[in-house]
Amino acid sequence: MNLLKNFMLLCVSSVLALASAELYLRWNPPEPLYMQTRHVVQQTHSEPSSNPALIYLPKANLSKPFRNREFNTRVTINSQHMRDREYSLSKPSGVKRIAVAGDSYVFGWGVEDHEIFTEILEDRFLKNVEVLNFGVSGYFGNQKLERIKTGAVDYQPDIVLFFTEDKPAYCDATYQWHAGKLYWGQLEPSQWKERIRSFLLKNVYLFAAVYPQYARWRNRASPFPPEEAPVLTKEQEEEIEKSTLQNENKEARQILSELKALSLKYGFHPVLVYFPLKPEHASLSPDDIAFLGKLAQEAGIDFADLSKPLKDFQQRSGHSAYFHYDDHWNKHGHEAVARAVKDYLNTSGLLSAEHFIQQTSALAGFEAYDKNST
């Protein structure tokens, strides 16, 4: 009897301990664990594209919640696969149009429709200017370019902003559809054991935290461990690094050259817009940013660097531009980007003074925003 009682006590204690660990990880997950278990918007809010270069698009006429640990938002997609309101193809008389291409940052991951910087620009900072959002979460450089070619140009834009956090590159990922969801990489396995493992990795924080350690131990303990990568000499590593850099620069030049060609064909002004990632993530170095600007200059494209404006806004407003766990801009970040883009459009002369809503002082916008954000 005592043995059974002790066994039951052990079971209950174990369950409570596991539940406590799960609750703790859900309450305060390490960033890699959060990134592994978070929901991905393009997986559930997209549809296949008939264009093989695009692969997928936001699902037309969709209104659906998207939530993760730090946000619970509603994503609204119009009939033309844009997270935006409906626009007529013909441009209204006396109106300027700005088309914005980019990935999840431009798409507005984690914020409400009206909090996206494109909406802030159009509604609060500019007048007689329409700002069209062609951002698609997960898109690479060539996909952004194709989105401009097969979507944005139909709306006769005067300016096209091409947002990037790195050198524009070609998509090197494999996307596949399974059970109505988009998967990046290998298709979800069909074996029931692998399906369970995949489900647990995505939905049970404790399992997701422990499993990688178990997998490494299993590989070491296996009589047939995976082949180790060959040991390279310093010269071989430098040669590989040099070759990789050359390929990256070649791809970036090709994409920017095609963007310039499109601008000449359709009569819009192209701007390459660089934005930094979350501070603890790997953003480009100042030298790399300068080189990116040089690549844009070589292609005959204007270049805007949002690094300093974003940093200045955070210091002056007292708000972080990024979520705590997630790596995307929060509503303060979109506010900062909207202000930075507005200032660029003003100082560059791409829009005349009549297109800006005037503010009483340089700090008026910051003060008004702070009062509404506490």
How does pLDDT run across 38-51, given as a tens digit for each residue?
989 999 999 999 99
Give the tens place of pLDDT for each residue, 203-218.
777 777 777 776 666 6
- The full set of domain ranges for the chain reads 46-172+242-371
Q: What's the 3-state SS for 63-112?
A: EEEEEECCEEEEEECCCCCCCCCCCCCCCCCCCEEEEEECCHHHHCCCCC
CB atoms within 10 A of CB 79: 8
Give the tens place of pLDDT for each residue, 218-265.
665 555 555 566 777 878 777 888 888 899 999 999 999 999 999 999
343-367 CB burial, b ≥16 within 10 A, e <16: ebbbeeebbeeebbeeeeeeeebbe
Which tokens hold the place of 178?
A: 């399974």
Q: Checking DSSP bridges between strand 46-48 and strand 71-76, what pairing results, if any? A: unpaired
pTM of the model: 0.87
E-strand stretches of the chain: 46-48, 56-58, 63-68, 71-76, 96-101, 129-133, 159-164, 175-178, 181-184, 269-274, 302-305
| Residue 305: per-residue pLDDT | 96
Closest CA to 44 of 202, 164, 173: 202
Q: What CATH number matches the domain at 46-172+242-371, 3.40.50.2300, 3.40.50.1110, 3.90.1300.10, 2.160.20.60?
A: 3.40.50.1110
Is 50 exceeded by the pLDDT of residue 367? Answer: no
Give the tens place of pLDDT for each residue, 269-324.
999 999 999 987 877 999 999 999 999 999 999 999 999 999 998 899 899 999 99
Q: Give the chain's mean pLDDT.
A: 86
Is 90 exceeded by the pLDDT of residue 90? Answer: yes
Is 50 exceeded by the pLDDT of residue 372? Answer: no
| Residue 364: per-residue pLDDT | 38
Place of tokens 């409570």: 16
| Residue 183: per-residue pLDDT | 76
266-275 CB burial, b ≥16 within 10 A, e <16: eebebbbbbb
Cα dist. 110→155, 182, 310 in Å?
Answer: 27, 19, 18
* pLDDT: which is higher, 195 or 35: 35
Cα-Cα-Cα-Cα torsion 82, 329, 347, 147, nearest 10 degrees, comes to -30
| Residue 27: per-residue pLDDT | 74
* pLDDT: which is higher, 340 or 3: 340
Q: Checking DSSP bridges between strand 181-184 and strand 129-133, what pairing results, if any? A: unpaired
